[in-house]
Structure 1
Amino acid sequence: MTPDLDTLASDFRRDGYLAVRPLFDAARIAEINQELERYIAEVMPMMPPEEVYFEDRADRGTLKQMQKLGEYDAYFRDLFETGPVRDLATAALGEEAVPKNLQYFNKPAGIGQPTPPHQDGYYFHLTPCRAVTGWLALEPVDEENGCIHYVRGSHRAEGFRPHGRSNVLGFSQGITDFGTPGDTAGTVAFAGGAGTFLLHDARTVHWAGPNRSPTRSRRALGFVYFGASARVDEAAKAAYQARLNAELKAGDKI
């Protein structure tokens, strides 16, 4: 479908997120899933270990996350850099959306861990914090297998909520004071079918539950874009990444 960019950008400014159900039809999602299977079989084995996360590294069926798909494969680079996802990011930001990271996320059946409440901008080290993250469901998602929840309007608060070590693979920091009356009242859950697309501000508080389904996974792609005006504190980012990689290696996660 062709989304109404003006309406969606207005939703984004008001709520801190937007939703398109679906952004891609069944045929395109089938194509993306097929290309993903190819990528996992052919490309993933050549990726640096710090860019591939498993719930249990001894069990290759527990693949949880992959980073920078667009850097290793032309199909995913095109999906990331051209077409409706980047158009939506540009409309939401009100400036050029610069592609930064295309990620794969999964919550394996029965063992997929919860995603702690967090704000993406806390990880990004940007000034100003002008960035968005898109999320594309590759299969149906609901409360049982871990749909995303947003706190409506949370992007308008000054600065970031306090974050601390979460011990959740792939989401190293979580909000430590989450659960206020405002959090509860403002929460919106986003169940949807394959092809559902969400886009949120880097300051928007969000999280997802565990995968309690014994049979269904919860596979998705994440698209990170920075606004052209944003600048990265490279020293802070590098120090954070070094600490994270050391912790993951110590825990035999990468």
Structure 2
Amino acid sequence: MKNFSIVPTDDELASVPRDLRFYRVNNDAPTVLTGDQIDRFNRDGYVAPLPIYSDSEISGIRSYFDDLLARVTAAGGNSYSISSAHLKYGPVYDILKDPRIVDCVSDLLGENVIGWGSHFFCKMPHDGKSVAWHQDASYWPLSPSKAVTVWLAIDDADEENACMRFIAGSHHVGHLTYRPSDSAEHNVLNQTIDNPEQYGSVVYNPLPAGSASIHSDLLLHGSKANDSDRRRCALTLRYCSADVHAALDWNQKGVQVRGTDPSGHWSNLARPAES
């Protein structure tokens, strides 16, 4: 299978026709989210906090990640390199398909939902790395822009240990021009959007472990470096409506998590055996 941990180049993405505009959620009868939460997503581009796992459940997930991280680092990886994890690790596949998460996503994306991405973003204490202001859609060969990220807190995340930040309402601006990040930024990713405050207000997204937020793929977001003595780990889960087309073979990593895939475009991979 293709190495999906490699981000497409700008030239590759430029070759993909993409409809990068925000599609407003029209759902008068949500299953889990409230009408106010739907309105907030449409207005601000995100909804939070969403309680998902109990303290004991997230403690078990944290223990699993601790072991996984030890294995990955022993093999030469690092705390940011566990990407497309649902393609390799059965427990991450299970989280991607968890009905408690998918119920929330389905209220935003509709009855047919594909889960296609899973990436641990683990900021170790004092690791010096930030995540520059960016839009997820800039990295993804998907069209139309009916996709969201679920940010599941594995550890407590607050301003002290570099919780995520949003530019509320920036998803309405459309796809923004970015520049390549320079080395002085110590960016985990490779894109930076400058002067983000011109697009809206900065909002911090503190989350207790076991809770989640969901944001639009067009929402500007990022996080500062973790200068605290505490770790800050999250699992990002990516979902899209089943009518979204994925170029560059990214449909191969899709899993049908709700409803059907009428076009048969997504691979609907089976659960991997590895733990």
TM-score per shorter chain, which class?
Answer: 0.7 to 0.9
Q: Relative to structure 1, is the Cα distance of residues 201 and 95 closer, same or farther in structure 2, using a 3 angstrom cutoff?
A: farther
Q: Distance in 2 between matches of 1:67 and 1:46?
A: 16
After superposition, the C-alpha distances for 1:180-212 in whole angstroms (9 at most, x for unaligned) are 4443xx211112321231110000011111101
Residue 214 (structure 2) pairs with residue 199 (structure 1): yes
The 5 A counterparts of 1:50-89 are 52=77, 54=78, 63-89=79-105
Compute the displacement of 1:14 (Å).
2.1
When normalised by structure 1's length, the TM-score is: 0.77
Compute the displacement of 1:169 (Å).
5.2
Q: Relative to structure 1, is the Cα distance of residues 178 and 232 closer, same or farther in structure 2, using a 3 angstrom cutoff?
A: farther
- Equivalent in the alignment of 1:212: 227
Compute the displacement of 1:46 (Å).
9.7
- Equivalent in the alignment of 1:178: 195
Q: Distance in 2 between matches of 1:41 and 1:211?
A: 20
Compute the displacement of 1:137 (Å).
1.1
Structure 1: gaps (5+ residues): 55-62, 237-254
Among 126, 145, 148, the alignment partner of 1:129 is: 145
After superposition, the C-alpha distances for 1:108-141 in whole angstroms (9 at most, x for unaligned) are 1012411100000010122211110111111121
Amino acid at match of 2:222: W
Q: Relative to structure 1, is the Cα distance of residues 178 and 96 closer, same or farther in structure 2, using a 3 angstrom cutoff?
A: farther
| Number of equivalenced pairs | 218
After TM superposition, the runs of 4+ consecutive aligned structure 1 residues lying more than 6 A away are none
Among 145, 149, 164, the alignment partner of 1:148 is: 164
Amino acid at match of 1:132: V
When normalised by structure 2's length, the TM-score is: 0.71
Amino acid at match of 1:24: Y
* More helix by percentage: 1
Residue 235 (structure 2) pairs with residue 221 (structure 1): yes
Q: Distance in 1 between matches of 2:142 and 2:92?
A: 25
- Equivalent in the alignment of 1:245: none
- Equivalent in the alignment of 1:29: 58
Among 17, 38, 41, the alignment partner of 1:9 is: 38
Q: Relative to structure 1, is the Cα distance of residues 5 and 74 closer, same or farther in structure 2, using a 3 angstrom cutoff?
A: farther
**Structure 1 residue matching 2:218: 3-state secondary structure:** coil
Residue 131 (structure 2) pairs with residue 115 (structure 1): yes
Give the conservation status (yes or no) of the 8 Å contact 1:6–1:91: no
Structure 2: gaps (5+ residues): 1-30, 251-275
Q: Distance in 1 between matches of 2:202 and 2:90?
A: 37
Among 108, 113, 121, the alignment partner of 1:97 is: 113
Compute the displacement of 1:233 (Å).
3.2
Give the conservation status (yes or no) of the 8 Å contact 2:129–2:188: no
Q: Relative to structure 1, is the Cα distance of residues 169 and 66 closer, same or farther in structure 2, using a 3 angstrom cutoff?
A: farther
Q: Relative to structure 1, is the Cα distance of residues 85 and 46 closer, same or farther in structure 2, using a 3 angstrom cutoff?
A: farther
Amino acid at match of 1:188: V
Identity of aligned residues (%): 26
Give the conservation status (yes or no) of the 8 Å contact 1:143–1:191: yes
Residue 35 (structure 2) pairs with residue 18 (structure 1): no
Q: Relative to structure 1, is the Cα distance of residues 178 and 94 closer, same or farther in structure 2, using a 3 angstrom cutoff?
A: farther
- Equivalent in the alignment of 1:240: none
After superposition, the C-alpha distances for 1:129-176 in whole angstroms (9 at most, x for unaligned) are 111011111112122211111111111123x1111111555411121x
Q: Distance in 2 between matches of 1:65 and 1:45?
A: 9
